[in-house]
Chain A
């Protein structure tokens, strides 16, 4: 057992971090607020191997595993990289052009959903839409959807369309694969949320060191320090859970994949949610402004909480496993 990043994983993480710092900085992200998508950036992410990461080299991919993928997605989450990253990654190898970035693949997770309103993310930017249903994985032509754009989406970087009718589309994989994609999607989404939990902790800590009230940095008050300590612990708990999910997906003999992934999605979801809220709180009035980017993280967290199962669904999943005996 060596449950730490390998040297290669460390290098991979640093590489993605460097790319994100240079290409998806807070200022650059703000520029994207109107369009919410950058096709050039997408191409660069593809070139870096983000989408074909787990695809075998023989199929044009990078040939890495899920443990590597969660490390990459952690960094992408940290900088709030826009676009349907998880879907395009999941469908690499199944949808032509997904890995190379030529085909931007979006998705819709309908498993466990009934008559809820159907809101499709990034509809205007995607070339293929994949729908996860109980019966299988379906590919739908985005142009065949009837829907209206929502003028004011929650997350400025996640535009949505309200779709009135959703064609069935072409079945490209069976029910078992739909379930598997959903598990993998949950692991990757949890990695994005881990990144959010870390970034918001660091932003709040930096702010608390610099901001003075009563002639002292607010970070010298225990009332603030303890909020920050809790943010750090939640982030580290999420890191362990997310990395464990990645490692378990790669080597299912070390534990229950479903349990590891549910744990990751639940713990990382709560870490992202609580940390981005705390980040607003520590920033005080400024945290409530649009100008400070703090709100972006909370809003993205809500988007991620609502795909591949939220906290409650995953809690029930774990309960089902532990309740099987007795």
Chain B
């Protein structure tokens, strides 16, 4: 039971920290959220810098240009990136974390040639077309059709919650190729170009007032069959292969960020007045903040525990859904406390008198999505109770 990073991990940290110390300020501030072209340029530009410095695709195999870092090096990478406030993965998110790994595992040589390098260098942006209005938690109920017509598929359907569709070059699209098969069996995974005829993108603003999401409507969109990744009707399995890439390290960034948020919250509580004194003088508030900070600390320990488990066994820890479940709900409780400490200042979403209204309010609002996206908290509880505790299964 050892929490100490090895000498080589520490050497990696030092080298990375030095690089970030120069590279992050040099990259400048992010553009306005509504400036999509600017955001794409900013995020892909950073990806290119990571690539040139040898940090792109931190968990990708070396033969595909990745770093193939050990799990502890990945933890160090996320920790240091958060500490240095490095640009977030942004528009590269789907390509680097999902589409790319799927192609590495399931793509043909031609498909790999076409996509892997460009994704890694920030030259190709991907979006995800999985969810549909009628297929959320029950993703396998998806209805978007792909009908074979010679050497093309003809696509018809409606996708939702497609991140970065506005700026994407390609889309990982789940479609139904066999409507007669049982629902998990008739699905295929396509990597299709964006901007085709019959494709319409409608932005889907979220309750935060902005957002990277869109709806994508497909009407008789023709794509060549060589967009198919993996075998036809084997898309459900193809979708799940990327799970093997996920070892629970990604939350490390949040851990560092939220330790900082807790310190910032304490600092704000010292500045704002409640009942004629600094809010921080209120013992119950201090206890509440300290309690939340302890929970952040405990989840961080849980991340290290699950990552070490994955490191030993080579498969992701089943407890990783526990991290997701606990942390996302914790984030919402932290958001609530942040809102209460700021008080009336939260009526503004812009900083007032130097109080961090913008970030606190945004985080509080944005945290609402966390218990819904990537498997809602209720689905996570089903998974934990069925797969880990062995309780009877829900209908599928």
Contact = CB atoms under 8 A, between A and B. Distances in A.
B267 A2 contact: no
Contact of B382 (A5, A225, A248, A251): A225
A249 to B, nearest CB: 11
B150 interface: no
Contact of B295 (A259, A267, A320, A322): A267
Interface in B156-203: none
Interface string A192-234: 0000000000000100110000001101101001101110110
A4 interface: yes
Interface stretch (B82-90, B219-227, B300-308, B346-354): B300-308
Contact of B287 (A229, A312, A322): A312
A74 to B, nearest CB: 12
A323 B263 CA distance: 6
B326 A259 contact: no
Interface residues of B, number: 56
A146 to B, nearest CB: 35
Contacts of B325: 229, 233
Interface stretch (A42-50, A235-243, A285-293): A235-243
A263 B4 contact: no
A144 interface: no
Given A4-B305, A322-B262, A326-B264, A232 B298 contact: no
A226 B329 CA distance: 14
Nearest to A313: B287
A217 B389 CA distance: 14
B302 to A, nearest CB: 4
Contacts, number: 185
Contacts of A311: 291
Contacts of B381: 222, 225-226, 229-230
Tell me what chain B mostly uses at the interface: helix, strand, loop, or mixed. helix
Interface string A239-257: 1110110111001011100
A294 B1 CA distance: 31
A259 B305 contact: no
A260 interface: yes
B311 A2 contact: yes
B290 to A, nearest CB: 3
A274 to B, nearest CB: 13
A326 to B, nearest CB: 3
Interface of A: 1-6, 9, 67, 71, 205, 208-209, 216-217, 219-220, 222, 225-226, 228-230, 232-233, 236-241, 243-244, 246-248, 251, 253-255, 259-260, 262-264, 266-267, 311-312, 314-320, 322-323, 325-326
